[in-house]
Structure 1
Amino acid sequence: MMAGALAATASAALTACGGSGGSGGGGKRLRIGYFAFPSGDLIVKNQKLLAKALPDYRITWIKFDSGATVNQAFLGKSLDIAALGSSPFASGISGSSPIPYKAAFVLDVAGDNEALVARRSTGITTVAGLKGKTVATPFASTSHYSLLAALQQAGLEASDVKLVDLQPQPILAAWQRGDIDAAYVWLPTLDELRKTGVQLVSSKSIGAGGKPTLDLAVVTDELIARDPHAIDVWRRTEAHALRLLASDPDGTARSVAAELGISLADARAQLAQGVFLTPAEESSAQWLGTDGSPGKLVDYVTSTAGFLAAQKQIPAAPSRATVGKALYLKGLPGVLA
């Protein structure tokens, strides 16, 4: 998708959803980008955890369909905080003019909630069987990255298939028309495809093979300089949502069901497909790490960027040191308590 189209999509999202979940009337504001995807973000939004913790702030929740449009919104200075997949984050911090933001939280680790599915009518049952077929995915997303990894693992090049750049809802429409043979996408669209499709591989297995993907939450450098206290409070509410996912499965499922407009049973099933860290795991050496001691997230993002560069999705990969500087670790682990 061309940059101009991305900017237009981001602008439309801001116009359509800018008032969603707004609160407060003071001079301080937080503009938060989120996905309609089962995670702690939806719990924070639905239960107004951040609004209660920062009553003097004007908080606006803005819905996006993919990381590419989130990156465009950050470039347009329309966001302060946002959910962002590890692949578009790796792209965002690459190049000579990286986006001025930093990863500050891990929302979830991709599991069975992102997957590659082929239409059952095609008869395709393996990734290798996609050769010469039309496969859709949102470009510059974690699903795009995982699709490329799946093709590589199956001995295929990206050029061996016809890749189509579509957002989740257009993927579903193209699937129903028979315009595409397969798609790599996330929930809730993924569940719709599974009804008439065959799952070939999920991000859980791709991750186990050495290429994990994550949904991160990033904050702008401007917000870090202007209002680090708000970031600390926001991270505490996200940590609280992670605890609620473990301690109150019914309550969190109700929040997700309300936000996504789905049944309680579907919300429970979708949450069960995700991998959610505990607050202690967030700041462990396996993930974010602590102030002065970055965790393995640096390696995951560096590896992702290297893979994207090798696939010519980005001009060049950032160094490990550059990736390390793109993490916001101040206050960890204490701020999550």
Structure 2
Amino acid sequence: MNRRTVLRAAATAASAVLLTAAATACSSSGAGSSDGKGRTTVRIAYQEIPNADLVVKDKRLLEQALPDADIKWVKFDSGGDVNTAVLAGSVDLGLAGSSPVTKGLSAPLNIPYKVLWVHDLIGENEALVARGGITGVGQLVGKKVATPFGSTSHYSLLAALQAAGVDPAKVNVIDLQPQDALAAWKRGDIDAAYTWTPTLTELEKDGKVLVTSRQLAEQGKRTADLGVVTNAFAQAHPEIVTAWLKAEDQAVKLAKSDPEQAAASIAKQLNLSPADALAQLKQLVLLTAAEQAGPEYLGKPGAPGKLADNLHDAAVFLKGQQKVDAVPDASVFAKSLAVEELSRAAG
């Protein structure tokens, strides 16, 4: 048995353990948790990405909308970690990139959650940066490149290598979370990294951007940060899901009408200057609930949007890269779009 086969077998075994843990958690605690006094604890996975989700957190919009619930924000470093937490029954709602969500909806994970929000369309805030005289993706053969495995950056790195005609097996791709990649960069342990802001901003200071996720999107490899909710929680607490969607919509509208105020909240959450937070915010495309209910994104009840096709295309790509076991039928992704919930909030 070769090394790749051993690793894939180990990954499958680990997934089976997580699925068992998730089943146990769901059967014992149900959706969310309660303090026995009628108060529901809402566990939200978030990441340090400069979008409107941090505005919701900083301004306590959800806490204001749900005074009878306890809101627990839990920070994660990547969407792969969010998937693991969902499987373990540790979170109810959360942010994960489109690549981790695609993997989550595919075998062997088959996570029982659905997509109810597009936090942002990824642009220049994710990119491949290199140094040491490397000026093109084709020069990465034999080099050490860091990225968080299972993330949108990982997906984009593979897409960039494919577009440049580079066999990923000939590149030493290393699984590192953003802050770990930055530390490895400073030590001189890696030649390049595909990651996101604010870590990306630090890498750009002495590195060269080879390609951005916006450029890859123009080539048909669009990525996004998505909001997911477990099926069990959505069924048990529709009023909380609606409140969450309305809070996110409120924050997006604020970011569009008063970006400086939104950036001030993001700056506090990320420990950045307001100017840096505003610059990073502008690298993303944010969408209101009404825009997301259009045919390009989630769509409406009875008419799922093109986001389902985007996720299916990503699954086809990931299967070709042996990152998922099988490509689900297109209907699986269409059914995963929480159009009913979005319609209630956008109406």
Instruction: Assess same fold via TM > 0.5.
Output: yes
- Deviation of 1:332 after TM superposition, in Å, equals 3.6
In structure 2, relative to structure 1, the CA distance for the partners of 1:132 and 1:61 (3 Å cut) is same
Contact 1:291 1:332 in 2 (8 A): no
Q: Equivalents in 2 of 1:257, 1:136: separation in Å? A: 26
Residue in structure 2 matched with residue 225 of structure 1 by the alignment: 235
Residue in structure 2 matched with residue 249 of structure 1 by the alignment: 259
Alignment of 1:168-207 (within 5 A): 168-207=178-217
Residue in structure 1 matched with residue 177 of structure 2 by the alignment: 167
Residue in structure 1 matched with residue 31 of structure 2 by the alignment: none
Asked whether 1:52 is paired with 2:64, we answer yes
Q: Equivalents in 2 of 1:74, 1:65: separation in Å? A: 14
Residue in structure 1 matched with residue 75 of structure 2 by the alignment: 63
Asked whether 1:307 is paired with 2:337, we answer no
Residue in structure 2 matched with residue 110 of structure 1 by the alignment: 122
Asked whether 1:86 is paired with 2:98, we answer yes
Q: Equivalents in 2 of 1:319, 1:226: separation in Å? A: 27
In structure 2, relative to structure 1, the CA distance for the partners of 1:49 and 1:26 (3 Å cut) is farther
- Give 3-state SS (helix, strand or coil) of 2:146's partner: strand
Contact 1:26 1:58 in 2 (8 A): no
Q: Which runs of 4+ in 1 moved over 2 A?
A: 1-7, 331-334
Contact 2:181 2:193 in 1 (8 A): yes
Alignment of 1:268-283 (within 5 A): 268-283=278-293
In structure 2, relative to structure 1, the CA distance for the partners of 1:96 and 1:201 (3 Å cut) is closer
Identity of aligned residues (%): 48
Residue in structure 2 matched with residue 76 of structure 1 by the alignment: 88
Asked whether 1:29 is paired with 2:11, we answer no
Where structure 1 has 5 or more consecutive residues not aligned to the other structure, the ranges are 8-23
Code of the aligned partner of 2:329: S
Give the TM-score, by structure 1 length. Answer: 0.91
- Give 3-state SS (helix, strand or coil) of 2:91's partner: coil
- Give 3-state SS (helix, strand or coil) of 1:333's partner: helix
Give the TM-score, by structure 2 length. Answer: 0.89
In structure 2, relative to structure 1, the CA distance for the partners of 1:247 and 1:26 (3 Å cut) is farther
Provide the alpha-carbon RMSD of the alignment: 1.8
Equivalenced residues, count = 319
- Deviation of 1:336 after TM superposition, in Å, equals 2.1
Contact 1:115 1:184 in 2 (8 A): yes
1:330 counterpart (295, 319, 340):
340
